[in-house]
Amino acid sequence: MSSYDWKNKYEITWTTTTQPMVSQTRTLTGLWEGTTYYIRMWTTDEVSENWSPISNGATAQAEFTIVGIDIIISESTWGVVNVGDSTMTVTAITVNNTGNVSETYRIRCATTTPGGSPWSMGGTQDHNVFVLKGVFKSTAGVTSEFNNEDIIWSTNTLSTSNIYAVNGSTYTGTGVPPTESRNIWFKFDMPLTTSATYQQSIGITIGAQQ
């Protein structure tokens, strides 16, 4: 096979005003994950007729995108909380980005009491209705830092600079770089009244996406 009859080749023409012996770089995007690419170059001067010989070979494989998290402290016990009262976690749940790309976290919750539960989540406390909020923060949160946009619902809600975050803080669950971690804290508002006479369990699911 000669230098000019590669099959399935893709040609890129790059025009530059570089001077001799000055290094240049170019980033190739939109590559298929796991595919091996063989890259060769030719250069020419402004006359466009004086082509160089083929360059040395460069071989690279497009990296697989890995999205993953590791959660430290998977269970938190609230203890006894009276109806109508509120409580907050005293120990953070830590979410580590174990992937190789920046991640944004999403959160949802559901009652997981064995045998079923009369409870449901809501925006305000009511009969058999609890309110659960979460914020990403390096240190323990205080009551005033939990706002309505931090309510955790039964459907996934993505973290933003305002959702699940202290307003004005850069410590959020969005765009978390690889290997970095985020602490999340929860505030739980008990139902005003309840028909439940046994311990209740609530599952919180934290997911990640690029």
Specify whether 55 is located in the same domain as 78: no
Q: How far apart are CA 78 and CA 74, in angstroms?
A: 13
Specify whether 84 is located in the same domain as 131: yes
What secondary structure does DSSP assign to 80-131, as a single string?
---TT-EEE-SSPEEEEE-SSS-BEEEEEEEE--TT--S-EE-SS-BBTEEE
Residue 3 has pLDDT above 60, yes or no: no
Q: What are phi and psi of 77, to 5 degrees?
A: -100, 125
- Containing domain of residue 170, as a range? 69-209
Q: How far apart are CA 73 and CA 91, in angstroms?
A: 9
Specify whether 60 is located in the same domain as 75: no
What is the pTM assigned to this prediction?
0.74
Report CA torsion sign: 196, 199, 201, 202. Answer: positive
Report the chain's mean pLDDT, rounded to a whole number: 87
Query: Mean of the pLDDT values across residues 67-73?
Result: 89
Q: How confident is the model at residue 1 (pLDDT cuts 50, 70, 90)?
A: very low
Specify whether 136 is located in the same domain as 199: yes
- Kindly state the tokens that stand for 56: 């040395």
| pLDDT tens profile 15-64 | 777 777 788 777 777 777 777 888 888 888 777 677 888 778 777 777 78
Of 14, 36, 64, at which residue does a domain stop? 64
Minimum mean pLDDT range among 35-49, 67-81, 85-99, 153-167? 35-49
Residue 124 has pLDDT above 90, yes or no: yes
Specify whether 113 is located in the same domain as 30: no
Query: Mean of the pLDDT values across residues 163-192?
Result: 95
Burial code (b: 16+ CB inside 10 Å, e: under 16) for 88-98 equals bbeebbebbbe
DSSP state of 178: T
Specify whether 102 is located in the same domain as 57: no
- SS in 3 state form for 24-78? CCCCCCCCCCCCEEEECCCCCCCCCCCCCCCCCCEEEECCCCCCCEEEECCCCCC
Q: How confident is the model at residue 6 (pLDDT cuts 50, 70, 90)?
A: low
| pLDDT tens profile 125-169 | 999 999 999 999 999 889 999 999 999 999 999 999 999 999 889
Q: How confident is the model at residue 121 (pLDDT cuts 50, 70, 90)?
A: very high
Q: How far apart are CA 33 and CA 86, in angstroms?
A: 48
Specify whether 19 is located in the same domain as 74: no
